[in-house]
């Protein structure tokens, strides 16, 4: 059963609908009314979808360093092992169920509209879109902040203004060309973002002391920072629902992609965390945003530090592209 918008539907209709009935502006279609098969050549397949989810949620281990500063290695490792079962997987299951029930562009806008009516669906979409606009504005700036150490001219003035505008135009045009292109760009950026951490972990193996992973001081835990870091880095699984209408065979592809993505995200956090805390003596105060680059330098040298910094810069671009796509298709749901 596919749910499709019906302009003639009564917005006050009940939300539960049998085959052919109308509910909150969405009509369940029987086989006799089904739309013709669409061309799947431009639909998003499972691998690009996994990396789009990866960038909606994570983008790599950049930003998890605060968990070690807040709680030490043991609680940090346990947090990224346990918290996915408490929050990420339930949110992922909800997204998979509703995303396959409503395989439409718009995602949660469609869900809220169907449950509470178009007014509240619009409110949901408007607030999320506004949040996305503010959030997306940060990524080109962060990207240039990583580059300005090598290109000082990007630190301010007209060169920085033109660079921000240029990046925004190029990435917006990429979204305009279609989600298939965006998906494969996300795959390339994701591989590049994770590869230096794989290398760092391999180089770190001879230096790892497992006893360092067990260090904990419960009296010195900053619970606010610790829990906020876990939540921030393991949230937003529902964002991919706005693209459900662009997914090839969403009833099968979307649940599988969400499953593989949560594995990729959790492993992408734990692997460098185990390498960094196991190979380097603990200095909790040093574990702040960007510290993985310093760890890479201590483990592999300046070349590895530069690679991690470059991966972090491009990761911001991957998150910008993925979130812009999500917000764009959310607007489609609001328009319908």
Asked if residue 152 and residue 3 are part of one domain, the reply reads: no
What is the mean pLDDT of the segment spanning 51-73?
92
Rounded to two decimals, the pTM is 0.80
Tokens representing 166 are 């240029």
* 236: Cβ contacts below 8 Å, ≥ 6 apart: 56, 57
Compute the C-alpha angle 226/228/233, nearest 5°: 100
What is the mean pLDDT of the segment spanning 197-201?
95
Q: Of residues 112 and 33, which shows the higher confidence score?
A: 112
Rounded to whole angstroms, how far apart are CA atoms 175 and 226?
35
Asked if residue 28 and residue 46 are part of one domain, the reply reads: no
Per-residue b or e along 65-104, where b marks 16 or more CB atoms closer than 10 Å to that residue's CB: bbbbbbbbbbbbbebbeebbeeebbebbeebbebbbbbbb
Asked if residue 7 and residue 81 are part of one domain, the reply reads: no
For the cut 80, the answer to whether the pLDDT of residue 189 exceeds it is yes
Asked if residue 217 and residue 267 are part of one domain, the reply reads: yes
Asked if residue 255 and residue 184 are part of one domain, the reply reads: yes
Asked if residue 173 and residue 312 are part of one domain, the reply reads: yes
Asked if residue 214 and residue 162 are part of one domain, the reply reads: yes
Asked if residue 293 and residue 170 are part of one domain, the reply reads: yes
Asked if residue 100 and residue 136 are part of one domain, the reply reads: yes
Indicate the number of domains in the chain: 2
Print the domain residue range for 20.
1-33
175, 325 in Cβ contact below 8 A?
yes
What is the mean pLDDT of the segment spanning 329-334?
64
Asked if residue 15 and residue 136 are part of one domain, the reply reads: no
Asked if residue 59 and residue 20 are part of one domain, the reply reads: no
For the cut 80, the answer to whether the pLDDT of residue 240 exceeds it is yes
Asked if residue 281 and residue 188 are part of one domain, the reply reads: yes
Q: Of residues 16 and 72, which shows the higher confidence score?
A: 72
How many Cβ atoms sit within 10 Å of the Cβ of residue 115? 13
Rounded to whole angstroms, how far apart are CA atoms 180 and 80?
31
- The domain that holds 83 is classified in CATH as 1.20.1740.10
Give the model's confidence band at 36: pLDDT under 50 very low, under 70 low, under 90 confident, else very high: very low
For the cut 80, the answer to whether the pLDDT of residue 212 exceeds it is yes
237, 29 in Cβ contact below 8 A?
no
pLDDT in tens, 287-313: 988 899 899 999 999 999 989 988 988
Tokens representing 214 are 């067990």
């Amino acid at each position: 059963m596919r749910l499709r918008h019906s302009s003639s539907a009564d917005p006050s209709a009940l939300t539960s609908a049998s085959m052919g009935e109308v509910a909150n502006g969405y009509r369940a279609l029987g086989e006799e009314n089904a739309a013709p098969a669409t061309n799947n050549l431009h639909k998003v397949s499972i691998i690009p979808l996994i990396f789009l989810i990866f960038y909606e949620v994570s983008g790599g281990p950049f930003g998890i360093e605060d968990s070690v500063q807040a709680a030490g290695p043991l609680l940090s490792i346990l947090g990224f092992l346990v918290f996915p079962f408490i929050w990420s997987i339930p949110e992922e299951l909800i997204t998979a169920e509703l995303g396959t029930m409503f395989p439409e562009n718009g995602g949660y806008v469609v869900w809220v509209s169907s449950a509470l009516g178009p007014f509240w669906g619009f409110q949901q979409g408007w607030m999320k879109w506004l949040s996305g606009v503010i959030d997306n504005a940060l990524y080109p700036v962060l990207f240039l902040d990583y580059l300005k150490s090598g290109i000082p001219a990007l630190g301010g003035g007209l060169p920085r203004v033109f660079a921000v505008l240029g990046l925004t135009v190029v990435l917006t045009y990429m979204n305009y060309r279609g989600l298939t292109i965006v998906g494969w760009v996300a795959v390339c950026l994701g591989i590049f973002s994770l590869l230096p951490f794989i290398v760092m972990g391999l180089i770190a193996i001879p230096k790892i002391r497992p006893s360092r992973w067990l260090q904990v001081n419960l009296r010195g835990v900053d619970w606010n920072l610790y829990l906020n870091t876990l939540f921030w880095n393991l949230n937003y699984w529902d964002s991919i629902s706005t693209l459900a209408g662009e997914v090839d065979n969403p009833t099968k592809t979307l649940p599988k992609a969400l499953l593989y993505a949560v594995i990729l995200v959790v492993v992408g956090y734990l692997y460098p965390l185990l390498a960094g805390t196991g190979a380097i003596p603990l200095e909790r105060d040093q574990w702040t945003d960007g510290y993985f680059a310093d760890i890479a330098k201590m483990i592999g040298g300046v070349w590895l530090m530069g690679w991690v910094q470059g991966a972090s810069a491009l990761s911001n671009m991957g998150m910008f592209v993925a979130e812009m796509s999500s917000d764009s298709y959310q607007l489609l749901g609001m328009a319908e």
